[in-house]
Amino acid sequence: MTGQVLERETFGHLFAELNKMGFTLIGPTVRDKTIVYDELHSVDELPIGWTDEQDGGSYRLRRRDDEALFGYVVGSQSWKKYLFPPRSVLFEIGKVGDALTFSEPERSSQPRAFIGVRACELAAIKIQDQVFLGSGHVDRTYQHNREEIFTVAVNCAVAGGTCFCVSMETGPECNAGYDLVVTEVIDEGIHEFVIEAGSDAGQKVLAALPGRPAVDEDQAHVAAIVADTAAHMGRTLNTSSVREVLYAGRESTHWDDVAEVCLACTNCTLVCPTCFCSTTEDVASLDGSTATRSRRWDSCFSLEFSALHGSPVRSSTKARYRQWMTHKLAGWQDQFGSSGCVGCGRCITWCPVGIDITKTTAAIRADSEVLG
Amino acid sequence: MTTEATPISVRSAEEMLPQPFRVTEIRRETPDTMTLALEPTSGPGIEYAPGQFTMVYVFGVGEVPISIAGGQEGKLMHTVRAVGAVTRAICALGPGDIVGIRGPYGTSWPITEADGRDLVIAAGGIGLAPLRSTVQYALNHRDRFGYVSLIYGTRSPGELLYEDELREWRSRFEIEVEVTVDRAADGWYGDVGLVTNLLPRIFYDPEKTTAMVCGPEIMMKVVARELGSRRVGFDDVYVSLERNMKCAIGFCGHCQYGPDFVCKDGPVVPYSQVRNRMRVAEV
């Protein structure tokens, strides 16, 4: 595939071109001492010159010694908030006399360009596509939000302290699921972007950019950057037979060890880019003529989540953590044909007590090996 | 633009959208349980297979999964126990009230697959509701089956569902109907004790028996184990699972039981599929 190389000075043309095509641009920007995803109006709003230091229960922004645009990994937010929003309306109900009418919410066109989607996040979107579009039923909200997305992916040039995409085979290189993929190259006086297309729509945008054609040397730069990132993963997770290991380890004592520190705060499920559980809410108007049924993100860590006839099936924190992790790494494979974990490390970083899915898995594995 | 997954089967685009049903009759079964007859206010209504469930919506209150107890030609019969906000609201409905219903959802009892076999239908408490239409099916197609038995247990005589029907089913002498209660009351001359106590009394050939069991999890486990010890294969014992449920189509995540979504992989599953899980607490 022929790519283009844009200089730092002309990178803004990509934003301008997407704007011209009618896309609202959404991408990373610095807010509240973290990197969040929000609407962008110019390249200047990117986290220029910032990087992030991540570890179990710890996230800090630090200054880089250069002006890189994409010199960090992922923050607490993921693209999930746009495709499967924290709140959405399921249906509206009208009441006239005794009669009820049910109608879907109105949905308007919203062409959006996602800027800076990482390989693990492409994998997460693919997984949620499978959940909401490819499992027998179609989720109308997700389907609508998923249409009209133009994806500008970015190959990670740094690995975060809690990253393990190499273990989950989702990164760091973006291989599919994007319209354009960008690799930022910073080296002795050069600051440029190697851009390749992954779709016809991407090809059209690429053709309109004022870059030079990529040559072998540029491709070599990209390969070296990706290889270096892959070599510096903060974590590893042994996925060999992990499904069998977790099913066999349902009664391992390590779940008790985790439960001793787990606050059941739900952070891991909210930051996870693949967690899809939701609950519902009903709000009726004061005059009783209309009602709205909505859904909002829920978490298997909450006590009410499994409530049956008023009492929870999973009353202990141990059972709730076990449900989350066993679902993510084992049950997901039975349900959707892939792991539910992409190795982004968010659940480790944003856990207030630093519970580490890679360490828990290793502990359960060690246990199961002892037990045979 | 780069959506890779393609829907396996796109059902109605409005599958999350309920259709209005009118309550035509509501009858008290027990102090906390009502049976409702419902008909669509317009349109074809809902055709179902025994064992499936619907989502019942009460205006401004919410939606709950309720097993289908009966109904024909698009009409439905639901038996509901008042245990939460929505089920309390359903039990407080009167004739003429409108609710929203969507469905049917989930797997069904293997009643047609059981052609030529003996049937053991075992119910505990309100677990008789999703089995009611299998009893009716067996009575209506009596010559298709060998021995057919219903064993039914509740906590007390006052908690028996469908008492008139139980009498009628028994009086036809076409199937065996055995009832037991945990605690007797004045005027009770029947059995006292666990529903498994009734198993030695009924006829079935373990080699060609299909068992359909619905009740509290512990009851289903005990009945399945007991049938197993009498050489009925665990693949031939079916149980109906119950879990918290918000969407009924595999999106909300609440009903997960191990790798299964009870809403679409269940509620009816062979016991062999869940036997190992049922041994572990809080799965």
Which pLDDT tens digit goes with each residue over A6-40?
999 999 999 999 999 999 999 999 999 999 999 99
Model confidence pLDDT, tens digit, residues B15-57:
679 999 999 999 999 999 999 999 999 989 999 999 999 999 9
Q: How far apart are CA A181 and CA A92, in angstroms?
A: 40
Cβ–Cβ < 8 Å for A112, A150: yes
φ/ψ of residue A344, rounded to 5: -75, -20
- Residue numbers of the domain that contains A53: 4-88+107-230
Q: For residue A310, what pLDDT band results from cuts at 50, 70 and 90?
A: confident
Q: What is the pLDDT of residue A143?
A: 96
Cβ–Cβ < 8 Å for A163, A347: no
Cβ–Cβ < 8 Å for A95, A288: yes
Asked if A208 and A134 sit in the same domain, the reply is yes
Q: What is the pLDDT of residue A371?
A: 55
Q: What is the pLDDT of residue B205?
A: 98
Whether residues B100 and A100 touch (CB distance < 8 A) is answered with yes
How distant is the Cα of A319 from the closest Cα of chain B, in angstroms?
A: 6
Asked if A225 and A149 sit in the same domain, the reply is yes
Asked if B271 and B146 sit in the same domain, the reply is yes
Global ipTM: 0.94
Of A284, A310, A316, the CB nearest to B83: A310
**Is the model's pLDDT at B5 over the cut of 70?**
no
CB contacts of B60 in chain A (<8 Å) are: 93, 282-284, 288, 291
Average pLDDT over every residue of A43-64: 98
Q: Among B79, B105, B131, give the residue marking a domain's end.
A: B105
Q: Is residue A94 part of a domain?
A: no
Token look-up 């016809």 returns A200
Model confidence pLDDT, tens digit, residues B84-125:
999 999 999 999 999 999 999 999 999 999 999 999 999 999
Asked if B85 and B130 sit in the same domain, the reply is no
Q: Is residue B111 part of a domain?
A: no
Q: Is residue A97 part of a domain?
A: no
CB contacts of A300 in chain B (<8 Å) are: 253, 256
Q: What is the pLDDT of residue A1?
A: 52
Q: What is the pLDDT of residue A43?
A: 98
CB contacts of A199 in chain B (<8 Å) are: 1-2
Q: Among B80, B105, B130, give the residue marking a domain's end.
A: B105
Q: How far apart are CA B154 and CA B32, in angstroms?
A: 14
Which of B161, B249, B244 is CA-nearest to residue A141? B249
Asked if A254 and A183 sit in the same domain, the reply is no
Model confidence pLDDT, tens digit, residues A81-120:
999 999 999 999 999 988 999 999 999 999 999 999 999 9
**Chain A CA closest to residue B100:** A100
Q: What is the pLDDT of residue A188?
A: 87
Q: Is residue B3 part of a domain?
A: no
Asked if B82 and B124 sit in the same domain, the reply is no
Average pLDDT over every residue of B181-198: 94
Joined tokens for residue A137: 């039923």
CB contacts of B23 in chain A (<8 Å) are: none
Asked if B175 and B202 sit in the same domain, the reply is yes
Asked if A53 and A114 sit in the same domain, the reply is yes
Asked if A164 and A265 sit in the same domain, the reply is no
The domain that holds B182 is classified in CATH as 3.40.50.80
Q: For residue B11, what pLDDT band results from cuts at 50, 70 and 90?
A: very low
Which of A71, A70, A62, A83 is CA-nearest to residue A177? A83
CB contacts of B17 in chain A (<8 Å) are: 91, 102-104
Average pLDDT over every residue of A280-286: 94
Arithmetic mean of pLDDT over chain A: 96
Whether residues A282 and B61 touch (CB distance < 8 A) is answered with yes
**Is the model's pLDDT at B12 over the cut of 50?**
no
Q: For residue B9, what pLDDT band results from cuts at 50, 70 and 90?
A: very low
**Is the model's pLDDT at A292 over the cut of 50?**
yes
Whether residues B4 and A177 touch (CB distance < 8 A) is answered with yes
**Chain B CA closest to residue A331:** B259
Q: Is residue A112 part of a domain?
A: yes
Cβ–Cβ < 8 Å for A320, A301: yes
Q: How far apart are CA A355 and CA A194, in angstroms?
A: 37
Domain count, chain A: 2
Omega before B18 within 30 of 0, i.e. cis: no
Domain count, chain B: 2
Q: What is the pLDDT of residue B10?
A: 36
**Is the model's pLDDT at B204 over the cut of 70?**
yes
- Residue numbers of the domain that contains B25: 19-105
How distant is the Cα of B91 from the closest Cα of chain A, in angstroms?
A: 15
**Is the model's pLDDT at A5 over the cut of 50?**
yes
**Is the model's pLDDT at A220 over the cut of 50?**
yes
CB contacts of A174 in chain B (<8 Å) are: none
Q: What is the pLDDT of residue B1?
A: 46
Model confidence pLDDT, tens digit, residues B112-159:
999 999 999 999 999 999 999 999 999 999 999 999 999 999 999 999
- Cα radius of gyration rounded to whole Å, chain B: 19
**Is the model's pLDDT at A226 over the cut of 60?**
yes
Asked if B157 and B270 sit in the same domain, the reply is yes
Which residues fall within 8 angstroms of residue B65, CB to CB, at 6 or more apart? B53, B54, B55, B56, B105, B245, B248, B263
Of B4, B99, B250, the CB nearest to A137: B250
Q: Among A230, A258, A287, give the residue marking a domain's end.
A: A230
Whether residues A335 and B1 touch (CB distance < 8 A) is answered with no
Q: What is the pLDDT of residue A367?
A: 85
Whether residues A199 and B2 touch (CB distance < 8 A) is answered with yes
Q: How far apart are CA B178 and CA B200, in angstroms?
A: 11
Average pLDDT over every residue of B4-9: 37
Model confidence pLDDT, tens digit, residues B221-266:
999 999 999 999 999 999 999 999 999 999 999 999 999 999 999 9
Q: How far apart are CA A325 and CA A341, in angstroms?
A: 9
**Is the model's pLDDT at A50 over the cut of 50?**
yes
The CA dihedral of A80, A128, B255, B97, to the nearest 10 degrees, is 70
DSSP class per residue in B98-153:
EEEEEEEES----TTTTTTSEEEEEEEGGGGHHHHHHHHHHHHTGGG-S-EEEEEE
Whether residues A101 and B97 touch (CB distance < 8 A) is answered with no
